[in-house]
Amino acid sequence: MTDQNPELTCQQFVEFIRDHMEGSLPADVSASFKAHIALCPPCVDYLDALHKTRDIAKLACTHPDDELPPDLPEGLVRAVLASRRKSS
């Protein structure tokens, strides 16, 4: 963390990561955001780890080796069709 950034504090920078990761960083903040990145390695680490958090969440929850087979249990198919007949 640095004392040389006249624009954003680390706290403000971390809050603006919300908009940065949405691709909706306000135009008037963009330069200050970039300036903070250039000056503050710990905040760069934080930003980088948040990107990795987003990516690992997706990879961990959708990895083909971990998913149960996509076949529907036959009993469930029957139950769905039976409940349709009941409700129609």
Partner 1 sequence: MPTDSSTTGAADEARLVADLRAGDEAAYERLVRDYGGRLLAVARRMLRNEEDAHDALQDAFISAFKAIGRFEGGSRLGTWLHRIVVNASLMKLRSARRREEVAIEDLLPRYLDDGHMLEPPTGWSDTAEAMAQNKELRALVRQTIDRLPENYRTVLVLRDIEGHSTEEAAESLEVSTGVIKTRLHRARQALKALLDPHLGETA
Contacts to partner 1 by CB under 8 A: 1, 9-12, 14, 17-19, 21-22, 42-43, 45-46, 48-63, 65-73, 76-77, 79-81, 83-84, 87-88
Helix, strand, coil percent content, the chain, rounded in steps of 5? 70, 0, 30
CA separation for the pair 7, 32 (Å, rounded)? 6
CA separation for the pair 34, 13 (Å, rounded)? 10
Name the minimum Å distance from CB 32 to partner 1: 13
Name the minimum Å distance from CB 58 to partner 1: 5
3-state secondary structure at position 88: coil
Name the minimum Å distance from CB 31 to partner 1: 18
For partner 1, the closer CB: 34 or 73:
73
